[in-house]
Amino acid sequence: MLKYKLKTGCIIQGNIRTKHINLIVKEKVKYFDLVVISTWKDEKIKINDKKCIVIYNEKPETPGLSNRNLQRLSVANALRYLKERGVEYVLKWRTDMLSTNFNLNELLELANYNLNSKIKSRIVMPSFRTLSVFPDYLSSFPDHFSFGHIDEMEILWGDNDFNYKNDYNFIGEENPKLIDKYNAHSELYYLYKTRIQKKTNENLTHSEIVISRLNLIDLKSLKICWFKNNKEFRSIEQSFEYPWWTERGFKKNKFKLYPIESKRNLILRIYYLFKNFILIKINISKQRYWFKNFKY
């Protein structure tokens, strides 16, 4: 039962990759007033829950870097739908993820922790894939999930100034020498930064935005199962060679700035290959255990 008298919504976004979609929906409708699956017109899906509606979107002609245009459009359309129905707080989720340890009250508390006058809530997102980089515009936000007041989520995921004809929507900072370093997580961050800058007239760095406007949590606290297909799992934690933010570091305002042109010697590269292999295996094993013991 919610401690807060707020209308909440959940966006489950993406194409349908697993037969477990009904289980994912069933888990979310326990917590949210409205649940929306935002997918594509060529998808075939049958949902067995009246609290969940499906939005079938037209795909943009240009899918974008790592299909980021598709992701942006489906989330933005679902945000509009929920806002029209008075939703105040919203979770952006994926169609291939199941949380086996979800607590909406905790997310609401995290979203409303230590607010300042410039924000209606913090945006709660994973510390993994949150990376402060030099140069700043190559820093990143994760896209696994995000939660917060719907106005704040529109700043992050809205599309009013988004050009669906472009492969990526960086604004005026593109460096031809670093073009191969651009990625979809950087686009998500830099668009958000640009919108914040226009709204507040503040030129904040990635770390300043994280500290003042976000609340980072450890993915493991939600015990997420990330489905690769109907039988297998994907490791939700990867690429341990990067100095991602951590929940502990966020609480202490401590992070490492990653120079994008830094190089690792052969021994370090071998070490991280081994570390990634072992920790990915461990994460997948944990997911099997969480899924096997999940009660719904």
pLDDT at 147: 98
pLDDT category, 110, cuts 50, 70, 90? very high
Tokens 């009250």: give the residue: 105
Contact status, residue 160 vs residue 246, Cβ threshold 8 Å: no
The residues near 1 (Cβ < 8 Å, ≥ 6 apart) are none
| Whole-number Å distance between alpha carbons of 161 and 157 | 11
| CATH assignment of the domain containing 80 | 3.90.550.40
User: Residue 1 above 70 pLDDT?
Assistant: no
pLDDT at 236: 85
36 within a domain of the structure (yes/no): yes
Of 169, 9, 171, nearest to 73 (Cα)? 169
138 within a domain of the structure (yes/no): yes
Mean pLDDT of the chain: 91
64 within a domain of the structure (yes/no): yes
Look up residue 216 and give its two tokens.
Answer: 């980072």
List the domain range (segments joined by +) for residue 192.
8-292
pLDDT tens, position by position, 23-71: 999 999 999 999 999 999 999 888 877 889 999 999 999 998 889 999 9
Radius of gyration of the chain (CA): 19
The residues near 85 (Cβ < 8 Å, ≥ 6 apart) are 7, 9, 34
Query: Considering the entire predicted model, what is its pTM?
Result: 0.93
pLDDT tens, position by position, 260-274: 877 778 888 888 889
| Whole-number Å distance between alpha carbons of 267 and 273 | 10
223 within a domain of the structure (yes/no): yes
Per the model's pLDDT, the better-predicted residue between 120 and 268 turns out to be: 120
3 within a domain of the structure (yes/no): no
244 within a domain of the structure (yes/no): yes
pLDDT tens, position by position, 166-217: 887 765 555 656 656 667 788 899 999 999 999 999 999 999 999 999 999 9
Contact status, residue 61 vs residue 83, Cβ threshold 8 Å: no
Contact status, residue 272 vs residue 280, Cβ threshold 8 Å: no
User: Residue 107 above 90 pLDDT?
Assistant: yes
Give me the mean pLDDT over the 8-21 stretch: 94
What would the DSSP string read from start to end of the chain?
--SS---EEEEEES----TTHHHHHHHHHTT-SEEEEEEETT-------TTEEEEEEPPPSS--GGGHHHHHHHHHHHHHHHHHTT--EEEEEETTEEESS--HHHHHHHHTTT--TT-SSPEEEESTT-B-EESGGG-B---S-EEEEHHHHHHHH--TT--TTSS----S---GGGGGG--HHHHHHHHHHHHHHHHH-----HHHHHHHHEEEE-GGGGTEEEBSSSS-B--SS--TTS----HHHHHTT----EETT----HHHHHHHHHHHHHHHHHHHHHHHHHHHT---
93 within a domain of the structure (yes/no): yes
Domain count, the chain: 1
158 within a domain of the structure (yes/no): yes
Contact status, residue 149 vs residue 121, Cβ threshold 8 Å: yes
User: Dihedral (C-alpha) 82, 14, 62, 68: value to the nearest 10 degrees?
Assistant: 90
